[in-house]
Amino acid sequence: MNSKHLETINRIRTILIKRQQTLAVAESVTAGMLQVAFSSADNATEYFQGGITAYNLGQKARHLGLDPIHGQQCDCVSAETARALSENCCSLFSSHWGIGITGYASTVPEKGITELYAYYSIAADGEEMKSARITPPPGEDDPVTIRYYYTNTVIAILLDILTNVTQKKPR
């Protein structure tokens, strides 16, 4: 993580601590990178509740309440999956804010997956506030670089929500 990204993480930390709010994450495609990023902030335990990396359908259904029929139909990659992850990690970790992300960082030709993309969802008090589909820069095919891209994109979006969007104040 470079100093620009750490500065962004610390800005998020400062906002959440000032509001006496916390954050948790439920991730798949980013493979724990969001957890590493948020735990890198100064005094991370004051705002970061933790996270879960759930890679397969069974774990997403068991720990994060994903509907298993839906998960099986979409290979656990959909806007609905990201929403289930963000909303349910709020209750799983007793946090005000939750982030969910799922997608592909490499192609899976045997499943017909040739396009790389991810869905993220950001929830406040267990209710989705923002979600979207994101794609890596054209021509990028390194899975680690793509995971960093997804991680940094979602972190920037969270900072934008916390600083610019008027929303109900979580708990």
CATH assignment of the domain containing 137: 3.90.950.20
Within a domain: 170: no
On whether the pTM is more than 0.85, the answer is yes
CA atoms within 13 A on the CB side of 31: 10
Across the chain, mean pLDDT equals: 92
Q: What percent of the chain has pLDDT over 70?
A: 95
Whether the predicted pLDDT of 34 surpasses 60? yes
54 backbone dihedrals φ, ψ, rounded to 5°: -115, 110
The domain of 28 spans 3-164
Within a domain: 58: yes
pLDDT at 131: 97
Residues 106-149 have pLDDT tens digits of: 999 998 999 999 999 999 999 999 999 999 999 999 999 999 99
What is the rounded CA–CA span in Å between residue 57 and residue 55? 7
What is the rounded CA–CA span in Å between residue 40 and residue 53? 17
Give residue 168's pLDDT band: very low, low, confident or very high (50, 70, 90): very low
Give residue 164's pLDDT band: very low, low, confident or very high (50, 70, 90): confident
Within a domain: 23: yes
- For the chain, what is the domain count? 1
Within a domain: 171: no
Residues 71-102 have pLDDT tens digits of: 999 989 999 999 999 999 999 999 999 999 99
Within a domain: 45: yes
